[in-house]
Amino acid sequence: MREDSARNTDAWTAHAVAGALSGAIWMAGTGLAFGLATVWLLATATLPRWLTAVPLLLALAQFWLLLRVAIDRHLFEALATSANRHGAADLAGLDTALLQLGWIAPSRQGRTMADRARGALRLVRICGALAAIQLVLTFLISIPG
């Protein structure tokens, strides 16, 4: 029974990370909306126009993260399916595909599921932090001076 549990670790890890990445999509989308609202508020305010660069740059970073998180979510869902079927995720196959696409450097091949999960969860934390920053900026700009 213990062996079955160990074999399912990759599947459960991949499922958990895919779920976290789904939440990150919502956080990043919300942060992007706050960023665009802040840009609009700044564009219509009497404040210097160059201030719009800050939320705009953060919104661009969030847009990139949104794309990255969406891709990673699908990859972790595929890893979970692979692990459910075969007892272990096909990490080597994923690395080969990512290498062929030019999305990873050869030195990044061979990472464990735990390493990949930590990297994906770092993206989740960054999405949350950027969304919080955008919310604070929107709030500060919307306060009547």
Rounded to a whole number of angstroms, the distance between the first and last alpha carbons of the chain is 65
* pLDDT, tens digit (0-9, with 9 covering 90-100), for 5-40: 556 788 888 989 999 999 998 988 888 888 888 888
pLDDT in the model for residue 117:
95
| Cα 95 from Cα 74, distance rounded (Å) | 15
| Domain that residue 39 falls in | 2-142
Q: Say what the pTM is.
A: 0.82
pLDDT in the model for residue 43:
76
Number of domains in the chain: 1
* pLDDT, tens digit (0-9, with 9 covering 90-100), for 100-131: 999 999 999 999 999 999 999 999 999 999 99
